Structure 1
């Protein structure tokens, strides 16, 4: 029987010392979708990915990947997934081609088959021109793309990306977004953790917000945005201060905000009415931004 979900998580707990890192986390990821797990540093995102990729065990709860239980069928789960962490793991002394061929050989491919697959991936990730260059001379964005390519040698159906664009410039981030979009178009399931709300908004079919080890909201990005109202008003005051308040699209609410500022002697230089963003939703749900907490 085909598993109804690519990833299914139920009541996962993980504790380190006296700190509860994960507190009853539950969610499902449909097959062939991009799922984004949002949360600040220290929320538990990387710990959850390490559990789902069989690197560590949960203290309690259950999780399945394509119907296979992580606790009882870890070797089979590893055959179905690839993992790209926050830092590139390719060998800087080898060329891009040599890195991919080496991994292909380690996975049991013949030399010719490994070379053929490496060439396909270098082309798909826009790295053909750099195939014979040492990875130590690659840019950060190029290394991340090569790292992701390395995880796709065997074309697994489920791909985990743990904050894959951390530290990237805007251009490199956009290139990696294109790769994720292509993977989803090929029917892959992509599980993405990120602190970048725009990233989740652009890429994800579904989003879950993890805060202090617990899921506080889940749904589509549009679902989460609707939780904070339909519109907000943004005003720039004469001293350069920016004020933003939810209006729910009500003209009287806009008038009330303007009148209140007028009575306080504040002069409004400009104002605009805007639809809510995922940033607004995250702030409303958690009371802070994705960068408020320190890594722990």
Structure 2
């Protein structure tokens, strides 16, 4: 392993691949944060976040965003004065690409401000089921999908962020297309499954998960106000990210994800900025 060049060793470590393929002793070879930064800045970054604005797709029970310009550069625009640009945003915490902390569904568990920053830079695992979703919009991910990933890439790393790629985000920002309701008002969009979530969180011990749809649960379930899958994640004291974008632009394994969001005290949720660093 000493013959592996620094330029190769450090990206492997940064991507979490050391857990699978590289002896952990390499981590003790004296790499500095400056070394890490030099490697990272040369990599490709992919934004996994939708820009939010009034009128974007959102959960059926939430009001729309209100956006107001308070100050503008020249006179005549804005309520309070001129000389600079300042806006007022009024929206629910679960707006656009956003974080759901455990307290969103479980009283007494962690709010947004109590999520440790060490949970925000993680190995990224992408479970790609978009071809199945093209054939069946009600598709829910299966253990066969997970086993297929692990046959190709090895065990899902402990502490990973696991994203389900469905390409549903390509329907954004069309709210009706995202909901995909039939003549009876039943929504048809893909979702997770309980057996997969239990495997990921209880056996692989991942840190968090995310998806491109407005909900963890598939549309046929949320139409009946069944949110049992989201309830499972949050009551397990894990956070999730909803309404991810551009998962088609990242590899299924080997990337890092940075999941960032503001720190509202006792926050029930908040828009997030999520991006991947490619290997």
Measured against the shorter chain, the TM-score band is under 0.3
Larger strand proportion, structure 1 or 2? Answer: 1
* Higher-Rg member (1/2): 1
Q: Which structure is richer in relative contact order (CA contacts within 8 A, separation 6 or more)?
A: 2
Larger helix proportion, structure 1 or 2? Answer: 1
